[in-house]
Structure 1
Amino acid sequence: MTTPLPTVVLVHGAFADAATWIGVISELRSHGIPVLAPPNPLRGLASDASYVASVVAQIDGPVVLVGHSYGGALITVAGAADNVVGLVYVAAFVPHEDETLGELQGRFPDSLLPGSLKEWTYPLLDGDSAVEVTIDEAAFPSVFAADVAEEITRVLAAAQRPLAATAFAETASAAAWLTKPSWALVAGADRAIHPEVQRFCARRAGAVVVELPDASHAVALSAPRQVAELIGDAVRATS
């Protein structure tokens, strides 16, 4: 009897939505790989990771978790679930247990992202308000998606989803890469998460690494075949 392939769960990052994965989903499905791309609430590391974990818990059989950007931090925590058999990081943060994204980023030169963020506020249930951030629309193409067609980046900039600022200061409650195999794609021309951050994270996690020297942060959109190939490697290795 043939063992079923793991289900691939694609977790998008900040300033984006699940449509980030449109080309990757098409590639994976063309190879018969089951895939799901749930929404990421973008409200905080702990709550977002809990949401991803709840999705994983409702999937029968093994799961390969894939995280882009901030989504990498979420799969690092949610990946502790028993049915997660592999982790794939795509131009992503890969924190250690009890480490914040701010601490991780602070060890390396700044990318263009911090200086391009615009602050907004949103209401909390207790009547107070909190801060969320987006990328300034004029800066979005060069910071996030320099290798994506301009007419597409204009739409992405207008439709971007904000990230709660608290996400940068919350500590990761687990580091699933300590016990689960991992793969990482480094975007060598990334201006949102410095490539040196990505390389450090991948080395520390002991990941199988592929680097695309000319890829922007939006590598899942600009190079879906290469991203899907790495995910396929993880699926085959964990089947």
Structure 2
Amino acid sequence: MKIIRFVRAAFVMLALAALAGAMAVSPAAAKPLPTIVLVHGAFADTTSWDGVAANLRGRGYPVVVPDNPLRGPGYDAAAIEKTLGGISGPVVLVGHSYGGAVITNTHNPNVKALVYVAAFAPAQGEPVALALDPIRFPGSQLLPPALQMKVVDDAHAFGGKNLDAYIADSSFHKVFAPDVSDATAATMLAHQKSLAVWANLEPSGPTSWSSTPSWYLVSANDTVIPPAAQRFMAGRIGAHTSEVQASHVALVSQPGVVADVIAAAASS
């Protein structure tokens, strides 16, 4: 009988220990990963994030890649906020290039971290064009004849027309994406979306980075937004800053490095 009682007591103790361990582990295991929202920049579309999105999904993160209208920081931020409104739980909001100006003007309480990838991070009242000031930050090749203008149909503009900027076919690979293959550059060119000229001139609104932790990945070989401008903006917003030896499109040429920075922000 003593042996039976001993075995029963030992069994109860083991069961209680297993239950306690399960209770200790379950909350952490059940904690959902944040949703990663990737906002593309000018002269690109959602496909520019394909490599990064696939990498992050492979790590278990839910990823959303909304369309950025490229009409101006205020208008575009409102479009991204509609996407964020449909997401429950924490969000890491990521912007590439002009997409950085958009996430700077986006405000949603679920956004727990911001990630800038070779991106504009304007202060309140600043247009993104200030970061391309050739006196303070020389080196951008995003100038005519590489940069071209055209009149486009735009239902949201006065008179239904707008003046947009785009990169000439002959300059796209060299200026925008010099570190990708010819085939990849051709695919990117086929997906190029033009940017309203006004988007570069519109003063930025209240900044999301003022109250949200931020990360910044500088592209050290960028010929669109000079690296000096990127470092200045990263320092000004107090971002966790790292660098990659890549062109303006590190998200395409080195998606794993970009995904690592986003994952670091997501796990902070």
Do Structure 1 and Structure 2 share a fold, with TM-score over 0.5?
yes
Aligned to 2:148: 118
Give 1:146's match in structure 2, choosing from 178, 203, 217: 178
Where relative contact order (Cα < 8 A, 6+ residues apart) is larger, the structure is: 1
Structure 2, unaligned stretches of length 5 or more?
1-26
Matched, 1:108 2:137: yes
For 1:199, which of 217, 231, 255 is the aligned residue? 231
The answer for the alignment partner of 1:132 in structure 2 is 164
Tell me which residue corresponds to 1:230. Answer: 261
The CA deviation string for residues 34-89 of structure 1, in whole angstroms up to 9 with x for no partner, is 111111111111100110111111111111100000000101111x2111100000
For residue 131 of structure 1, give the secondary structure of its aligned residue in structure 2: strand
Secondary structure in structure 2 of the residue aligned to 1:4: coil
**In 2, Cα distance between the equivalents of 1:159 and 1:21?**
12
Matched residues, number? 235
Structure whose residues are more often helix by fraction:
2
Spell out the pairing of 1:31-50 with structure 2 (5 A cutoff): 31-50=59-78
| Structure 1 counterpart SS, 2:77 | helix
Query: Which ranges of 4 or more aligned residues in structure 1 deviate by more than 3 Å?
Result: 123-126
TM-score normalised per structure 1: 0.94
Provide the residue aligned with 1:62 in structure 2: 90
Instruction: Work out whether 1:26 is the aligned partner of 2:57.
Output: no
Match of 1:99 in 2: 126
Please say if residues 69 and 91 of structure 1, whose CA atoms lie closer than 8 Å, have aligned partners that are also in contact: yes
In the alignment, structure 1 segments of 5+ residues that lack a partner are none
Residue-by-residue CA offset, 1:147-191 (whole Å, 9 max, x unaligned)? 100122123223311000000111111211111100011000011
The counterpart of 2:109, out of the listed 79, 82, 88, is: 82
Structure 1 range deviating more: 63-72 or 40-49: 40-49
How far apart are 1:97 and its partner, in Å?
1.1
Task: Compute the RMSD of aligned alpha carbons.
Answer: 1.3
The code of the aligned residue for 1:23 comes to G
Specify the SS of the correspondent of 1:151: helix
